[in-house]
Amino acid sequence: MNTKMLSSGIRYSTLPKNYIRPESERPRLSEVSECQNVPVIDLGSHNRIQILQQIGDACKCYGFFQVINHGVPLEIVKEMEEVAYEFFKLPMEEKLKLYSDDPSRTMRLSTSFNVNKETVHNWRDYLRLHCYPLDKYVSEWPSNPPTFKEIVTKYCKEVRELGFRIEEQISESLDLEKDYMKNVLGEQGQHMAVNYYPACPEPELTYGLPGRTDPNALTILLQDQNVAGLQVLKDGKWVSVNPYPDAFVINIGDQLQALSNGIYKSVWHRAVVNVDEPRLSVASFLCPCDEALISPAKLITEDRTGAIYRGYTYAEYYKKFWSRDLVEKEHCLELFKNN
């Protein structure tokens, strides 16, 4: 078992060879500029029509947006950040009790992305949790720190409700019934990845995570408020998305791109690292149930050129997505296009 975790506290003076990307795959950090006009949507606004317009524009042009006044109590967000940092500061022998290289495990602590398959690793440790239904999974979550289960349970419930509200708004922004997306997606699963990116001696040679889209429906990302690291692909160039106070980043996943018949874009995004300090992020994923039939809404395809994507189940898509290499450049949805 590979138990070499980056959060061991060791500070490297140079990057170990098995983290160095080939020249053509490096992040070229000097070429990355700050993302201009990042959509920041105030969900507390009383102007519902404006909110729907802003969400629609962001989903078309960016594939992501940030939300403020989102209804998740800020004290719960703060507690989540604190307990996550506390977890990664635990002694190594304590963390190794939870370590696993088996991606089928519903709770595991691991490093990189898939250490058994990769030739080059990513500069990341992460805790992966299944979060729905809570009563099925909470018992297997870490018991240390002692407050971990209680805090993460509260956070998961709040984020799930936020995700549902945003799915309703995305449906309405497409002139569909409010419950359209939720009905198609079925009883949605919920996963969480608590990501820890230690300070890195040579960040221009590696990634926290390389560019990818999310295979699920919607991702609710809690960014580190103090340390930037999220970058998105906009108009063919990588741009940085700096933290916005008290905001969540909402990523459109592959399934919402398919359901919108390609009108809304699943965003290519990546995580980079820095030389000075560690960075933490908490990604919460809402996933269709396995049997959910993903097919563009008839109302959308009737007045366009027909369905871009064939109908498929989420289980079929998920299997195809994870059978591919994370660094593949082609979008997995390309494999599901109608000829």
| Predicted TM-score of the model (pTM) | 0.95
Q: In the chain, what are the domain boundaries?
A: 17-291
pLDDT of residue 329: 64
Separation between Cα atoms, residue 274 and residue 276, nearest integer Å: 6
User: Residue 66: which H helix or E strand, with range?
Assistant: strand 64-68
- What's the token pair of residue 85? 């940092």
Residue at token pair 């497409």: 174
pLDDT of residue 110: 94
Q: Is the backbone peptide bond immediately before 288 cis, with ω within 30 degrees of 0? A: no
- What's the token pair of residue 114? 């898939």
- What's the token pair of residue 44? 């507390």
pLDDT of residue 304: 63
Q: Which residues of 297-326 are buried (b: 16+ CB within 10 A; e: fewer)?
A: beebeeeeeebbbeebebeebbeebeeeeb
pLDDT of residue 230: 98
The highest-level CATH class for domain 17-291 is: mainly beta
Alpha-carbon distances of 95 from 112, 139, 144, rounded to whole Å: 15, 17, 9
pLDDT of residue 325: 60
Q: Which residues does 138 contact at the CB level (< 8 Å), separation at least 6?
A: 149, 153
Q: What is the mean pLDDT of each run of 10 residues along the chain (339 residues)?
A: 72 92 95 95 97 98 98 98 97 94 91 78 96 98 98 98 98 97 97 97 96 96 96 96 97 97 96 96 98 92 84 94 67 90
Separation between Cα atoms, residue 116 and residue 22, nearest integer Å: 19
pLDDT of residue 3: 47
Residue 237: how many other CB atoms lie within 10 Å = 12
